[in-house]
Amino acid sequence: MQQLSLGLEQFTGNLPNKPYCSDNMDFGLQIRPKHLALLKRYIQPNHPYYTHFFVFDLDYPTAYIDFFYSMVGVPVPNLIVENPENGHAHYVYQLKTPIYHTNASNDKPIKYGNAVYLALRSVLNADISYSGLITKNAVHKHWRTHVLREQPYTLDQLSERLDLTTRQINKQIKVDEAVGLGRNCCVFHTVRHWAYVEVRQYRGRDNKFNQWLESVIAQCCSINAQFTDPLQYNEVKGIAKSIARWVWKRDGYAYQEFIDRQTRKGQLGGKAKAEAYNAKRAQAVRLKGKGLNNTQIAKQLGVARYTVIRWLDGVSQ
């Protein structure tokens, strides 16, 4: 097997374990284990819940050479994956710390990452309709891959070169403007504000947390459906779960009911378990009376031999 450079090892090492992949986008995508997906021309660079890479599509013939002659001051991509037939390329920036998409309790990295992504896309003059779901596979022989930087970037390092302001980073993202990580931010903020009030409707209901979760998922899906390039359902569901738990725990009434319900379940479970053991203990005594030894009784009842000994000792006493 060909020895990969550090930059390419980091690329393959951070890919999802079962990414989308394809040899021909006209025939759609497949999900394959990573070792098989790496044989395909196109591959999914980021996990649905994490962003390890910012990927940009430069769909013009001088995409590679332009970086050296007309992009002065632009952060150096870790990889440029070029199509040798037409010169189009994907610019890949690797992040030192991946951005977690579904943490409703801490969305600052998502907002920061989104601002950096949009600024980079602008200075690179990259395709604004590119979703980033699939990229040219940097280790496939069909492409010409250039490793320009092996060290991953922090968001601060990228931001310093892009002159981002605090206002840009904290700008509220509207539904019709949401792309990339901005979609996650938009779902978070739109749905969490709705959830703070809506959660009150689920106080005192039977099976209320599950009903509450389903309601939050439905609300997140509704917002997601308005995006030009919607998030995948599993990613939306992950965001919804995080919001539902976050808001539920911070609604004092609802959270206390949750604790009370878990306590009741534990008590009922303990009683049910005790009753089941009582029945088996009585059965063990009957089997002993029929002449079975402890090992045979344990095997028949599906318990440890030591448990049978303890049960029978208790009876004899």
* 95 in Cβ contact with 152 (< 8 Å): yes
CATH architecture of 175-250: Orthogonal Bundle (1.10)
For domain 267-316, say whether CATH 1.10.10 is its number: yes
Using CA atoms, how far apart are residues 248 and 269, in angstroms rounded to an integer? 24
Vertex 94 angle, CA 13 and 106, to 5°: 100
Predicted pLDDT of residue 207: 64
Is 0.75 topped by the overall pTM?
no
In the block, tokens 């008590």 appear at 267
Q: Which two tokens stand for residue 313?
A: 């000792």
pLDDT tens, residue by residue, 57-109: 999 999 999 999 888 889 999 999 999 999 999 999 999 999 887 665 567 78
pLDDT tens, residue by residue, 220-243: 999 888 887 788 888 888 889 888
Q: Which two tokens stand for residue 124?
A: 């690179």
Q: Which two tokens stand for residue 85?
A: 């037939």
* 8 in Cβ contact with 143 (< 8 Å): no
* Residue ranges of domains in the chain: 6-170, 175-250, 267-316
